[in-house]
Amino acid sequence: MVNVIILILAAYLIGSIPSGLWVGKIFYKKDIREHGSGNLGGTNSFRVLGKKAGLVVTILDILKGTAATLLPLVPFFADTTIHPLLLGAIAVVGHMFPIFAGFRGGKAVATSGGVLLGYAWPLFLLLIVAFFLALKVTKIVSLSSMIISVIAVIYSIIYMIVTGDIALLILILILTVFIFYRHRANLKRIKEGTEPKVKWI
């Protein structure tokens, strides 16, 4: 039981690492919460800090989800029974509500992807390709993120039918709700035609 509590706490703390905030403050002397959308995720990091920093923040946010999901593989926890997707979900919560950044975090897309990378890497690769295809067509990061969450739901339903893995479907459904909820302001701007568009793709 103690090990389970340690794993849950570790997953939350890993997810709580505010990559965008720390990269901005340490290397650019900027608090990205005070610029752009005010969000701590990769998209706002690209917008405020530039392409290099945005890429670094996105990769770090992905790896948070992966690291939390793989925690049960640490030899110390070899005899501890806990589903890795639960730890991944907790890391996502940490990313959205980080204790290290006043509980104001990102929108969960990159960290959710990291969870999938650690648990179902073929789905992760599929979503990466789908994201850039959607971005190529729409030019809108938030819309592309929501599109791939729907694709993930469809994939996980088929995967459950084939393999019986209902845990992945449950996680995907929860993460999709998180992602749409965190993008509710973006949805409003998309409807109004005011959502920012990227120009590099």
Shortest CA distance to 63 belongs to which of 110, 16, 108? 110
Q: How far apart are CA 104 and CA 94, in angstroms?
A: 10
Is the residue at 199 inside a domain? no
Is the residue at 200 inside a domain? no
pLDDT digits (tens, 9 = 90+) for 48-107: 999 899 999 999 999 999 999 999 999 988 888 899 999 999 999 999 999 999 999 988
pLDDT digits (tens, 9 = 90+) for 123-167: 999 999 999 999 999 999 999 999 999 999 999 999 999 999 999
Q: What is the pTM of this model?
A: 0.90
Shortest CA distance to 146 belongs to which of 194, 83, 195? 195
* Burial of residue 164, with CB atoms counted within 10 A of its CB: 0-12 exposed, 13-18 middle, 19 or more buried: exposed
User: Is residue 38 left, alpha or beta, with left meaning phi > 0 and alpha meaning psi from -120 to 50?
Assistant: left
Can you give the residue range of the structural domain that contains 107? 2-192
Say if CB 84 and CB 119 are below 8 A apart. Answer: yes
- How many Cβ atoms are within 10 Å of 183's Cβ, its own excluded? 22
Is the residue at 153 inside a domain? yes
Is the residue at 65 inside a domain? yes
How many separate domains does the chain show?
A: 1
Q: What is the DSSP string of 47-103?
A: HHH-HHHHHHHHHHHHHHHHHHHTGGGSGGGTT----HHHHHHHHHHHHHS-GGGTT
